[in-house]
Amino acid sequence: MNSKLTASLLTAVLLISPLLSGTVMAADAPARLVAVAEVENRPLSPKIMVIGSVHSRNSAELTAGVSGKLEWVQEAGTRVNAGDIVARLEQTRLKLQLAEQQAMTKREQITLNKLKRNYSRLQSLENSHGVTQTELDDAKAELELAHNNLELAQIKTDLIADSLARTELKAPFAGIVTQRLHQAGEDIGPSESVVAITDPDNLEIRLHAPLKHSRRVKANDELRIYHAEGEFTARIRSLIPVSDVRSQTFEARLDLPLEMQELFSVGELVSLALPVAPARLTTLVPRDAIVLRSAGASVFRINADNTAEKIDVALGDGEGKWIAVEGGLKEGDKVVIRGAETLQDGQQVKLDSAPTGAVSSASSGAS
């Protein structure tokens, strides 16, 4: 029995010794210089991740509005300025029609001038009773009709001139020709698209999300965007909170910040954090405070005696540089945001509070 008891005690000592030695080492280790920040309680909405896509705010397929044979079409991939010609139809027929109508307009002007002179002559004879009232009325009616004919002729001239101008398709905005939908030599109708043009420098993000969540967002709200280069926030410019029966989704359009425009291309996909429930009071710590290990996530809280205490936490939604946690933390607790990687539970620390203000100031802009 004594030998068995001795063996059991020896085993227990061997098992406990590493734990005791670790605690002793942490207590005896020199104080570590760490930076800290305070735990905050702020309202935070639960979120889901949805997929959005990058679109150009200016994109169009151009039509001529007149029939004719294509004479020239700009190459796809060509960058153009607003007002540049991107396609041209043959103009010979319309030019001849315009010349004919201008001649007709000139004839109507000549007729009008003749009738004006005749009416003036008849008016001068009225007082001398050299002309009857009927003759004078007939001359006045002919003059008014000539005025009307001239107006109609001028309108026809303007219509032909407009059709002639439409034979040159001009870019309505600066962009890139993305597609030639017809080639030179083809006859086209007035409503047939000839070229497609897109503005790659004026971008927006569009998302389609479940319709039931449309009440959680409104115009001018900011959503957090995640992509390969990191994350940023974008403002909702407009909402389309209607849906058809099949899709049951609503659409939101967000302005892509100017400083982010060059990082994206039309058609690129991004992820967005969309609020799905009312905001509730949540415990938040800086992301830099989280220590990730195979056993889970934890933070180091600094106690009143300047010792580090390891606190296991469960991670929640993120909000910029902050992340929601559940665990044994409360508002105002100081957690290590720099120097936690090699810190041990129970180790003495020295506080370097310089970075704390930077983190706190960043939090003031979070919602």
Which tokens sit at 99? 């010349």
Contact (Cβ atoms closer than 8 angstroms) between residue 39 and residue 283: yes
Q: What is the pLDDT of residues 325-348, one digit of tens each?
A: 998 898 999 999 988 888 888 999
Instruction: Output the tens digit of pLDDT for each of the chain's 367 residues.
Output: 445 544 454 444 444 444 444 444 445 567 888 899 999 998 888 888 999 999 999 999 999 999 999 999 999 999 999 999 999 999 999 999 999 999 999 999 999 999 999 988 888 887 777 788 888 889 899 999 999 999 999 999 999 999 999 999 999 999 999 999 999 999 999 999 999 999 999 999 999 999 989 888 999 999 999 888 788 999 999 999 888 788 899 999 999 998 888 889 999 999 999 988 887 888 999 999 999 988 889 999 989 899 999 999 999 887 778 888 998 898 999 999 988 888 888 999 888 755 444 444 333 333 3
Residue type, 45: S
**Domain 61-89+169-197 listed as CATH 3.40.50.1110:** no
Sheet containing 187-188: which strands, arranged edge to edge?
A: 168-170, 85-89, 68-73, 187-188
Q: What is the pLDDT of residues 173-198, one digit of tens each?
A: 999 999 999 999 999 999 999 999 99
Taking the domains of the chain in order of start, what are their residue ranges? 27-44+280-363, 47-57+202-275, 61-89+169-197, 92-166
Query: Architecture of 27-44+280-363 per CATH?
Result: Beta Barrel (2.40)
| Residues contacting 10, CB < 8 A, separation 6+ | none
Q: What is the pLDDT of residue 295?
A: 84
Q: Reduced to 3 states, what is the DSSP secondary structure of residue 71? A: strand
Q: CA 86: distance to chain centroid?
A: 27
pTM: 0.65
Query: Architecture of 47-57+202-275 per CATH?
Result: Beta Barrel (2.40)
DSSP 8-state code for residue 61: E
CATH value of 92-166 in 1.10.287, 2.60.40, 1.25.40, 1.10.357: 1.10.287
Contact (Cβ atoms closer than 8 angstroms) between residue 136 and residue 122: yes
Instruction: Please report how the helices 92-126 and 133-166 are oriented relative to each other, as an axis angle in degrees rounded to 10.
Output: 160
